[in-house]
Amino acid sequence: MPFVPVLHAEWIKIRTLRSQWGALAAILLATAAFSALAAADADDADPLFSVFFGVGFGQIAAVAFGTTAVSSEFRGGALRLTLAAVPDRGRWFAAKATAIALPALAVGLLTGCVTLLVGRAALGTSAPGWAEGVRGAVGCGVHLTLMALFAAGLAAVLRSGVATLSVLIPFLLIVSFVIGDLSGSVADFLPDRAGQVALHSTWDGALGPWSGLGVAAVWTAAALAAGAWSVRRRDA
């Protein structure tokens, strides 16, 4: 089966699951809400990060979206039926990743724009400029997309949504911050922290806005490669 029909089939799976729409909506709501709260009580040290503070919470919803989209294939023999229709496992996994990436990017960019407008309104005269704000909005969208794909790759390896979320959510909420406090610049190369460099007005670490997103993209590519290898090598 050609790639486009496979992609269409995977998109149908995603848009017909309420949990997927709920996760996408949570990306926008969590990011905008927590960003508005942070911006209302922010100082002038890093106005751009004050605007996009909620991304740390929105990325959890992005992880849930990517995880659920893949882990649903490993319940009830769904993957066996899928592979009966699409025997080329690599093509199927590429279509699955694309079907996750496109809505995640669309919602991520929308989230970035809404969060920027809300944050600028809350900060008033201390708000970041439009050029810097647009960079943050784009970085927000790309970062959220990369986190969704990173989770999708890990879910394909672990073959379980519960296991994937049990690893990633504590990592994002606790481990990353602890490592960051203890190890300094080494933690800047973790996927969640590297991707969020683009959301800061200034950054003292080794990475810049786009190199940080590049590091996050390398982590995501590695997770997807591991997921593709797992799908190819292991029984459905």
Q: Quick check: 222 and 189 in contact, CB under 8 A?
A: no
**CB-CB neighbours of 127 under 10 Å:** 20
Instruction: Evaluate whether residue 236 is within a structural domain.
Output: no
Residue range 205-233, pLDDT digits in tens: 788 889 999 999 999 999 999 999 999 88
User: Is the Cα dihedral 98, 57, 196, 27 positive or negative?
Assistant: positive
Alpha carbons 147 and 119: distance in angstroms, whole number: 22
Q: Quick check: 199 and 55 in contact, CB under 8 A?
A: yes
Instruction: Evaluate whether residue 172 is within a structural domain.
Output: yes
**pLDDT score of 153:** 97
Q: Which residues contact 133 (CB under 8 A, 6 or more apart)?
A: 48, 51, 116, 119, 120, 127
Instruction: Evaluate whether residue 235 is within a structural domain.
Output: no
Which of 133, 107, 103 lies closest to 118, judged by CA? Answer: 133
Instruction: Evaluate whether residue 95 is within a structural domain.
Output: yes
**Looking at the 3D structure of the chain, how many domains does it have?**
1
Count of residues in the chain:
236
DSSP readout, 160-193?
-HHHHHHHHHHIIIIIHHHHHHHHGGGGGGSHHH
103: pLDDT strictly greater than 90: yes
Instruction: Evaluate whether residue 157 is within a structural domain.
Output: yes
Q: What is the average pLDDT value for the chain, to the nearest integer?
A: 89
Instruction: Evaluate whether residue 234 is within a structural domain.
Output: no
45: pLDDT strictly greater than 80: no
77: pLDDT strictly greater than 60: yes
Question: What is the extent of the structural domain holding 181?
Answer: 3-229
Instruction: Evaluate whether residue 106 is within a structural domain.
Output: yes
Least confident of 88-102, 113-127, 180-194: 180-194
Instruction: Evaluate whether residue 25 is within a structural domain.
Output: yes
**Cα pseudo-dihedral 224, 24, 71, 99, rounded to 10:** -50
Please give the average per-residue pLDDT across 151-165, as a whole number. 95
Q: How confident is the model at residue 236 (pLDDT cuts 50, 70, 90)?
A: low
